[in-house]
A and B are shown apart, each in its own frame.
Chain A
Amino acid sequence: METLFFLIVAAIAVICSLMVVTNKNPINSALSLIMTFFCLATLYVMLEAPFMAAIQVIVYAGAIMVLIVFVIMLLNIKSEAGRRTSHALFMGISVGLLLLVQTWYLLVKSSLSSVRGTVDSAMISKVGHTELIGKSLFTDFLLPFEITSILLLVAIVGAVVLSKKKL
């Protein structure tokens, strides 16, 4: 049952992401992307990561995609001109397929040999996913967490520098 569900969700995710790339209308692409994000959120739920699923929906599908759609509408981007060099397309597809084959081979041949962490389903249901993530952010990954703030600051400054009208 679970496998079947996974396959359905995964298939939708793959199809949607293909549509993101192939659609000529940017709005359609953006909407397909939102769909993909929802599928990913579903997958997170299946992996017993409800917090991640919620964040995925709220931040990506909610905030970021809305922003993207707004930008598309503001700039009034028309359908893409649609000139694609065929050999580039061919190369792209073949390299992509090769990468796929390699990934498959990798998955078949290698084993997940690492230690299992202390976090398992029982613990998640007992303590709660959000709290576990919070704890690890404030203990093990405190510094990376703090660095993120600088990263965001830099991104904001950069956006302002590159886009503000009058210098």
Chain B
Amino acid sequence: MTTSPVIPRQSAPALSLGPAAKTVDAMKIYGKEQTEVRALDGVTVEFGAEVFTAIMGPSGSGKSTLLHCVAGLDDLTSGHAYIGDADLSRLNDHALTLLRRDRVGFVFQAYNLLPTLTAQENITLPQRLAGRKPDQEWLTRVIQTMGLQDRLRHRPTEMSGGQQQRVAVARALAMKPQIIFADEPTGNLDSRAGAEVLAFMRNAVDVMGQTIVMVTHDPLAASYADRIVFLADGRIVDEMVRPTAERVLERLKLFGD
């Protein structure tokens, strides 16, 4: 844990900055008629800028679907999802791709990196896809914040799971995105590596003013967030600000399974 930065949490997140992303009456329905499944059933939620938000809920609650839809990876059956003021439902595939590339960062549970590229190449991938020169100063800051100075020439197979996820977070940060979406980023890591990655993510919000939305089922992971949105059966059922692991665990017990 020598690389883990110990930085005090800011007292109160600036909830007043306005949303970096939001959904309005989001519906996502799979199947038809009798076999119909409402993965999202009228979700209206805002994700504030410079806030670390966690989405939680039992299996099948729609938490991943919500993340995918607001991130522009999947489309809604009805309702709207916005990143900034862009209405995702009005964008075609190409425009969505460019929006993801230029304004959104992603961290997935596994398989975040291209095995053929080095850590550095992976980090700068979105810029290079856009054909832009990376902002070297920002990049150095990101790499330092993620503690990756010594790993830049390594390929994914030569790095630990935690290091790989840190590269993924660095890649998400590299484009100075409006918002970062993380889908169970620590799901494949042991608790120590997981804590390390989460601390770096926390750092990104506190030090670099980033916005993160993270889906997780782990109360400990969620406790790193500023705010938690609880989902059940495709609806928002609760919220929690400045959570602790104990309080999250207590809340989850109420779901009763």
**A and B co-occur in one complex:** no
